[in-house]
Amino acid sequence: MKPIEPYKGVRDFYPEDQRIQNYIFDAMRRAVESYGYQEMNASVLESTELYTSKTSEEIIAEQTYTFTDRGERSVTLRPEMTPTVARMVATKKRELGYPLRWYSIQNFFRYERPQRGRLREFWQLNADLFGITGPLADAEIIAVACRVMRELGAMPDDFVIKIGSRDALNSELLAQNIPQEKHKAIASLIDKKSKMKDDEYTRAMQDLIGENEFVIRESVDVIEVRTILESWGIENTVFDADVVRGFDYYTGIVFEVFDTNPENKRSMFGGGRYDNLIGSYGSQDVPAVGFAMGDVIAKDFLETHSILPSLAVSQTLYLAPLTDKDMLPAALTADRIRENGVHVSLGMKNAKIADHIKTAVKLGVSFFAVYGEQEFSSNTLTIKNLATGEEVVTTVDEIGSVVHKKN
Amino acid sequence: MKPIEPYKGVRDFYPEDQRIQNYIFDAMRRAVESYGYQEMNASVLESTELYTSKTSEEIIAEQTYTFTDRGERSVTLRPEMTPTVARMVATKKRELGYPLRWYSIQNFFRYERPQRGRLREFWQLNADLFGITGPLADAEIIAVACRVMRELGAMPDDFVIKIGSRDALNSELLAQNIPQEKHKAIASLIDKKSKMKDDEYTRAMQDLIGENEFVIRESVDVIEVRTILESWGIENTVFDADVVRGFDYYTGIVFEVFDTNPENKRSMFGGGRYDNLIGSYGSQDVPAVGFAMGDVIAKDFLETHSILPSLAVSQTLYLAPLTDKDMLPAALTADRIRENGVHVSLGMKNAKIADHIKTAVKLGVSFFAVYGEQEFSSNTLTIKNLATGEEVVTTVDEIGSVVHKKN
């Protein structure tokens, strides 16, 4: 019988895959928590009405998992986090303290054709700063995005932060007498520019604005943000009029982080200011700025730049009983070793030492020791480092110092 | 406009709620990792066929979120983890090393009427040990469950582990000539016994077994497991013939952890041995034993026993600029403090000190400091501990030792 496969377009995370996820998530966590962002979450199930006319219409209409539950409610598996955090801020607007800094590392769902970097379930860091308008808040969010890259091991010239402004775009369009109801469609078209052929883009733009023309110059908000970032030592930023982002809810600066690797030049992730979304869920606006970064692009970046370290199961000892009758004494010793803060995986089988070692290697465990009568009577173990082959003899109570316990 | 509510029967986790989740999850993680269990995961989306005739039929038919996707596939939001881990072990059976120890802390979905402790989305620790038959593996899984309780702060007499045996039940039923096809229904009935009236139960059992009678005594497997646990100092176990567990796939010992608090006596969570499930997904059986513990019951236990500590946002300093012109110097100082491993939440607003303190308290942050011209020229800060009111003057570079950095 053929084993049942995972659902199409989603991933299984075996421990070696999960270790990579955790490595990425830990870097994200360190970055955002150092700026005082606090973790929050909600359910992946949301009422469909949460997204109606908020997120990009294309995403809602064609790319969400939406179904009717047994109680006739329309439910959507969240395709992004922003509507959820906006709803939650709107609900407790008065009780919350501002500046409010929230983050989450959670999963999202889009019903797309699976392709490289675009899966039906993906994980994302979301970080948002609420209650503050102006360039200092904008600069902090970009600095946090930059810190995530640094915690992942990127150097400043491995990436560039391109900053645009919805505000500047809208002002210029108004100055050119291009009517407001076309602004969303124009932004959406500019967002797709890099994926279109030049003449195709020009034609589509002409359909929208006719004989009008517009040129967007670096606006005051972008200049201020870039100046603050520079004072913090963040110099890998540029103004880019073509950065507008796909979501309809952005109102001010928008930014995208680009890989500078010549073979992999592309937008990795981004964010921006959205000052009207929370008001649309409640009675009053709360200014907000945030960004989101996906796990797939992060892993891809680490691999492309060869900065993903090999991740063994550290702090862990595989303890192999020599014979069946050593099993219970080995289990008792394992408990004593755990008291010293070392993780112990007990090799619960009667096997040759070579087979035990093979198992420990398959498990990705860092340290190995045999337990027999000699170890029992001497109260010592010979700890083998499976990466280096190095062996150290230690007493049971001093194993912690050999296994380089982290905490 | 009334804010949009979360979907019915699920929860929003504001930072103060998420801190409790993380406290519980961290305890679970410490417990299972000390025994060498490795984290894994899969998608919440699974093919419906994964569950057909595996999980309890009642759950599949009436209690799952199942829908048809846009490609006409039947998809189910996972209601439990065991079929997923069994599928994944079956898929890579030969590449994996045994004993294989896996855990996950993830979310699950059941379409039930929301009630106390039973939500439509809930979180669960799952821990499973694969590849080993016999009482040592059974004992380890129970020891791990026990360790989770201890890491949560429970004392041994706060809970009791009741152990039964599907094996013993089935042998006794066979000995009494009760046909095999009735065994599942009998186990399912025994599982519901505590929720039924005595005469209702007796009648239902008579409908199944007629004039037959059976008495289940403590079987050899349970005795062996309890003896090993005792040798490890785990003495709060009893044999209980009525513990059979609801899922159809159990084959050997089964156990449930009961709260001993007289006002809250009830089964909190449990698990057992399931040696045939993996084989049903692949070509060969792999013996397995595991358990699952939910977040709701864990939090409830901590609250009932008054062992949930108050959880502030530790390691974090709220830095309040005294005036608008102190904002940028404060931001630069915040960066220097972060370099010393302290998290800094910058109070990005022009407000009175009392208002800043109010915000810091709302945010649950532990430490507070003002930043003005005096702090700039002296390069010192007065750090106020918001829990104790205590104030300490320190240089910017020595804040780490005041904020009691963990790492």
Residue in A6, A39, A43 nearest the CB of B15: A39
Contact B66, B74 (CB under 8 A): yes
In the numeric block, which tokens belong to residue A312?
């063994």
B183 domain-assigned: no
Strand pairing class (B380-385; B391-395):
antiparallel
Would the CB atoms of B18 and A41 count as touching at under 8 Å? yes
B76 domain-assigned: yes
Which residue of chain A is at minimal alpha-carbon distance from B312? Answer: A38
pLDDT tens-place string over residues A203-235? 999 998 888 888 888 989 999 999 999 999 999
The pLDDT of residue B384: 96
Set of chain A residues whose Cβ sits within 8 Å of the Cβ of B3: 87, 90-91, 281-282
Strand partners, A291: A127, A271
pLDDT tens-place string over residues A86-132? 999 999 999 999 999 999 999 999 987 666 667 899 999 999 999 99
Q: How confident is the model at residue A406 (pLDDT cuts 50, 70, 90)?
A: very low
Instruction: Please give the tally of structural domains in chain A.
Output: 2
d(CA B140, CA B160): 16
Domain of residue A356, CATH code: 3.40.50.800
B24 domain-assigned: yes
**B64 and B86 share a domain?**
yes
**A172 and A137 share a domain?**
yes
Q: Which residue type occupies A142?
A: I
Residue in A10, A40, A99 nearest the CB of B14: A40
A3 domain-assigned: no
Disruptive mutation site among A14, A23, A324 for chain B (greatest number of B CBs within 10 Å): A14
| E-only strand ranges, B13-88 | 38-39, 45-47, 66-68, 74-77
Q: Which domain holds residue A380?
A: 313-402
d(CA B349, CA B324): 8
Peptide bond into B99 cis (omega under 30): yes
B197 domain-assigned: no
**A298 and A318 share a domain?**
no
A170 domain-assigned: yes
The pLDDT of residue B100: 98
Query: Is 0.85 exceeded by the ipTM?
Result: yes
Q: How confident is the model at residue A266 (pLDDT cuts 50, 70, 90)?
A: confident
The pLDDT of residue B99: 98
How many other CB atoms are there within 10 angstroms of residue A150's CB atom? 16
pTM confidence score: 0.94
**B78 and B169 share a domain?**
yes
Disruptive mutation site among B17, B34, B227 for chain A (greatest number of A CBs within 10 Å): B34
pLDDT tens-place string over residues A273-317? 999 999 998 778 999 999 999 999 999 999 999 999 989 888 899
A196 domain-assigned: no
Which residue of chain B is at minimal alpha-carbon distance from A101? Answer: B345
**A218 and A247 share a domain?**
yes
d(CA B53, CA A185): 50
- Mean pLDDT across chain A: 92
**B115 and B165 share a domain?**
yes
**B110 and B79 share a domain?**
yes
Is A103 in a helix, a strand, or coil?
A: strand
How many other CB atoms are there within 10 angstroms of residue A234's CB atom? 19
Per DSSP, the residues of A235-276 read --EEE-TT---S-TT--SEEEEEEE--TTS-EEEEEEEE-SS
**A242 and A389 share a domain?**
no
* Average pLDDT, consecutive stretches of 10 residues, N- to C-terminus, chain B (407 residues): 80 97 98 98 94 66 84 91 95 96 97 74 97 97 98 96 92 87 87 90 90 86 97 96 86 95 88 94 91 96 94 92 96 95 95 97 96 96 95 94 66
**A294 and A354 share a domain?**
no
Distance from CA of A366 to the nearest CA of B (A): 11
- Last residue of one domain, picked from the residues B283, B304, B325: B304
The pLDDT of residue A61: 65
**A274 and A334 share a domain?**
no
pLDDT tens-place string over residues A9-42? 999 999 999 999 999 999 999 999 999 999 999 9
Contact A377, A326 (CB under 8 A): no
A10 domain-assigned: no
- Last residue of one domain, picked from the residues A252, A275, A304: A304
pLDDT tens-place string over residues A46-79? 999 898 866 556 666 678 898 888 888 889 999 9
Peptide bond into A99 cis (omega under 30): yes
Which residue of chain B is at minimal alpha-carbon distance from A281? Answer: B3
Residue in B6, B22, B98 nearest the CB of A39: B22
Mean pLDDT of A387-393: 94
- Last residue of one domain, picked from the residues B255, B275, B304: B304
Set of chain A residues whose Cβ sits within 8 Å of the Cβ of B101: 345
**A141 and A232 share a domain?**
yes
The pLDDT of residue A216: 86
Domain of residue A249, CATH code: 3.30.930.10
**A285 and A327 share a domain?**
no
Q: CA B400, B405, B407 angle in degrees (round to 5)?
A: 125
The pLDDT of residue A367: 96
